[in-house]
């Protein structure tokens, strides 16, 4: 059974940093693109970042470029999101998701999410 | 960047009704579009990818169509368990933008 479990969320002051983790199991992690998607309270979904299977390609939404870094450790079946210079508008539930990218690309499994609150 | 615009933002329909949600891309995205369902308090779930391919296990009352810039998600016979917010997402190129969502309620 595919499982994605996020951790690392919490309350942080503006300008602070946080590192999110996503532990994957039930599939060959190194075979898949992975992604982070966030959802501000009461708002819609926002794609944040993607990372290729071997970590050689990474893509970000403009609003987090230069502040967030997506990474992975295939030996540990883990995905990460390092978030620096956090702003109030980064407050959201952060989901990691597996990207099924055979003939097309879509997010077929999602974690339960971890809440990040940026506030003083 | 390509913008994704859904309409309506919300709708209320009766059980058994046919419901149609539209997603429009500001530029052509071929058929690189997925639809997700997010029930209240739950994690999003993919319903359709490649604009019209039904994900395994998704009820056949859900269908998708379109290509280029205009896409639709249709629920043929709305059920109480379909109460949710529905999102389209493009994946032809980054950023993988979502639409703003359509909230579906039962009348």
Whether residues B96 and A45 touch (CB distance < 8 A) is answered with: no
Distance, in Å, from the CA atom of A99 to the CA atom of A60, rounded to the nearest integer, reads 15
Output the pLDDT for position B27. 95
Whether residues A44 and B97 touch (CB distance < 8 A) is answered with: no
Minimal Cα–Cα distance from A71 to chain B, Å? 17
Q: Which of A61, A62, A106 sits opposite B49 (nearest CB)?
A: A106
Q: Which of A45, A95, A103 sits opposite B87 (nearest CB)?
A: A45
Q: Which of B49, B94, B98 sits opposite A46 (nearest CB)?
A: B98
Minimal Cα–Cα distance from B8 to chain A, Å? 14
Output the pLDDT for position A105. 87
Output the pLDDT for position A61. 97
| CA contacts within 13 A on the Cβ side of A40 | 10
Whether residues A111 and B96 touch (CB distance < 8 A) is answered with: no
Task: With beta carbons under 8 A apart, name residues in chain B contacting A106.
Answer: 34, 46, 49, 55, 89, 91
What is the mean pLDDT for each group of 10 consecutive residues in chain B (107 residues)?
96 97 96 96 96 96 97 97 98 93 97
pLDDT cut 70: percent of chain A above it: 100
pLDDT of A103 strictly over 80: no
Residue B97 — φ and ψ, nearest 5°?
-70, 140
pLDDT digits (tens, 9 = 90+) for A9-58: 999 999 999 999 999 999 999 999 999 999 999 999 999 999 999 999 99
Output the pLDDT for position A5. 98
pLDDT of A101 strictly over 90: no
Output the pLDDT for position B24. 97
Element (H, E) at A46: strand A45-51
**pLDDT band at residue A1 under the 50/70/90 scheme:** very high
Whether residues A44 and B101 touch (CB distance < 8 A) is answered with: yes
Residues 6+ apart with CB under 8 A from B99: A44, B4, B5, B6, B23, B87, B88, B89
Name the residue in chain A with its Cα closest to that of B33.
A106
Whether residues B95 and A107 touch (CB distance < 8 A) is answered with: no
Output the pLDDT for position A104. 80
Whether residues B38 and A110 touch (CB distance < 8 A) is answered with: no
């Amino acid at each position: 059974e595919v499982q994605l479990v996020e951790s690392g969320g919490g309350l942080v002051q503006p300008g602070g940093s946080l590192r999110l983790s996503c532990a994957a199991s039930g599939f060959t992690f190194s075979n898949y693109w992975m992604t982070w998607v966030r959802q501000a309270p009461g708002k819609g979904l926002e794609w944040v970042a993607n990372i290729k299977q071997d970590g050689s390609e990474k893509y970000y939404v403009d609003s987090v470029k230069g502040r967030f870094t997506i990474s992975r450790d295939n030996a540990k079946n883990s995905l990460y999101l390092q978030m620096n210079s956090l702003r109030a508008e980064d407050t959201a539930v952060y989901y990691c998701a597996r990207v099924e990218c055979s003939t097309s690309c879509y997010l077929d499994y999602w974690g339960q999410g971890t809440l990040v609150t940026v506030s003083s | 960047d390509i913008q994704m615009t859904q309409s309506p933002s919300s709708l209320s329909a009766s059980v058994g009704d046919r419901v149609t949600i539209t997603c429009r891309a500001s530029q052509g995205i071929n058929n690189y579009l997925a639809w997700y369902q997010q029930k209240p308090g739950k994690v999003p779930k993919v319903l359709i990818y490649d604009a019209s391919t039904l994900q395994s296990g998704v009820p056949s009352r859900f269908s998708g169509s379109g290509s280029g810039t205009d896409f639709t998600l249709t629920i043929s016979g709305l059920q109480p368990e379909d109460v949710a917010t529905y999102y389209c997402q493009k994946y032809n190129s980054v950023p993988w933008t979502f639409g703003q969502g359509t909230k579906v309620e039962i009348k």
